[in-house]
A and B are shown apart, each in its own frame.
Chain A
Amino acid sequence: MADIAGPLAGWRPTREDILRARDRARVLAARRRRRNLFVLALLVGPGILVMLGENDGPSMLSYAVTGATYGIGFFIPFIVLTFVLAFCVQEMTVRLAAATHRGHAQLILDRFGPFWGYFALADLMVGNLLTLITEFIAIRAGAAYFGVPGWLAVGTGVMVVLAALSLRRYMAWERSVMLVALANLLFIPVAVMAHPDWGRVGHALLTWQPLPGGPREAVLTLVLANIGATVTPWMLFFQQSATADKGLTRADVTQGRIDTALGAVLAAAAGVACVVASSLLHDHHAAPSGATGGADFATALRPFVGSTGAALFALAMVEAGLVAAVTIATSSAYALGEVSRRGRSLNLDFRQGALFYATAFVSVVVAAAVVLIPHAPLIAITITVNVIATMLMAPALLLLLFLVNDREIVGQLANTPLQNVINGTIVVAIAVVGAVYGIVTVFPGLLRL
């Protein structure tokens, strides 16, 4: 790259700088012309991706089990509530990124020292690897509905993730992954095909009734699991890093908030649609016994929603795992790049971003390989994912709260007293509930005391 003259003398812009500057130039030009919708269209992305990524394979399977077990009722508004909470938490990462232009891992390391920096990194990397394994399990299970062999489904999943990363351009990566992520909304036409009683859905949304029946322990555990997993560590790291990589500034915080809210609305709609569609199985007493994957639910739903509806359901399950695999692998790459102070941008080429791309590549390939290993302990991994995500969420959330109150780095974008009351309550509630869920999962006898 050439040296440049003028006020920027002495600075040698990298490919990352130039590509980011091009994106910023388009935003600034659109803003000058007061094309507000176009500005928004240019700036949305990380929020939509993080929320639709949170609707991952295991989450959608959990929604399907919830619908098939409890039907339409309490869990419909409950899902909406969890995304409202997720919005409140994730919005803080937008402000942090816009104010500091740094990722979450880097801020933790710089401001709180090596213990928290490396702990957060290790927690994220291990949790992400285990979660990636569950995403490939979901991809394999969803693809099984179409008769696709496991090795082919997992291999195709790996190729899609690697293809997205090989674009070496943030905006191209973001737009292509968003396109795939919107397939999460395929649950909505399936719900429509199920011809539910929309009056019951509306009644449930407004009244939280009927309350779930069955064993109280199971219901309580499900509620704790859902609140505890409202936000997972990768979501914090991913959205902050992606927002910084995209180049949002203090002037773009409103659009960043709209992006996050839009993502929450879309993800909540997909989650509710999944519950509504699978509630047919509850109403017809046709819940698949011992269901372990999307294909089981798609097969069970076929008599009620037809072969097209069932195929869409299975396809959406595959998409859920695929998009989460991309975003989770990218969050690992961002975090390791930030802590090691090597390249950490999707605008890097392979040489400059060798560690960045290698992290994502290796984590995806290892996760896919584990899924294909005969007799691999996949059940142990799947149940450990929830425990690690919920129990180790407390440090991540509380450090987030410390950072967003750090006026030296965020200035005017720091939490106001009201935001501290609201976000502080939410953060503490999620952290405590997550810890309680983790402990009662590890020591189930405690719930019976």
Chain B
Amino acid sequence: MRRNEGRDVEVDVSVLEPEQRSERASLPLPRRRLGPWALAALWILRLYALAAVGIVVYFFVRALGQP
């Protein structure tokens, strides 16, 4: 790979799909446009997630206090 690097590179990397190249795969995709139902579901999920975090923290703190 070190000698004839350029030639090896050309032979090897041509098998990759364009989206597989590391620089392309790092590029952000556009934000998804969500319908009203999906948006509502995500807001409910957001509230659930925040409540769940609170419960987990409460549980951990309570467990720390137990012998």
Contacts and interface: CB of A to CB of B under 8 A. Distances in A.
A398 B45 contact: yes
A22 B14 CA distance: 10
B26 A249 contact: no
Interface stretch (A9-17, A76-84, A85-93, A143-151): A9-17
Chain A at the B interface: SS class: helix
Interface residues on A, range: 35 or more
A341 interface: yes
A373 interface: no
Contacts of B32: 111-112, 402, 406, 408
Contact of A387 (B12, B38, B56, B64): B56
Interface in B29-67: 29-32, 38, 41-42, 45-46, 48-49, 52-53, 55-56, 58-60, 63-64, 66
Interface stretch (A171-179, A183-191, A319-327, A388-396): A388-396
A402 B52 contact: no
Contacts of B25: 101-102, 244
Nearest to B14: A8
Interface string A101-131: 1100001011111011001000000000000
Contacts of B19: 100-101
A159 interface: no
Nearest to A409: B29
- Residue among B48, B55, B64 facing the most chain A CB atoms (10 A cut-off): B55
A299 interface: no
Contacts of B29: 100, 102, 107, 110-111, 409
Interface in A355-370: none
Contacts of A402: 32, 38
A379 interface: yes
A105 B54 CA distance: 23
Given A341-B26, A380-B63, A409-B29, A24 B52 contact: no
B6, B22, B64, B66 interface centre (most CB from chain A within 10 Å): B22
A438 interface: yes
Given A101-B25, A395-B45, A13 B55 contact: no
Given A387-B59, A394-B48, A398-B41, 6 more contacts: A8-B14, A17-B13, A24-B15, A101-B20, A112-B32, A394-B45
Interface of B: 1, 5-6, 8-10, 12-17, 19-23, 25-26, 28-32, 38, 41-42, 45-46, 48-49, 52-53, 55-56, 58-60, 63-64, 66
Interface of A: 1-8, 11, 13-14, 16-18, 20-22, 24-25, 28, 100-102, 107, 109-113, 115-116, 119, 244, 247, 249, 341, 345, 377, 379-380, 383-384, 387-388, 391-392, 394-395, 398, 402, 406, 408-409, 435, 438-439, 441-442
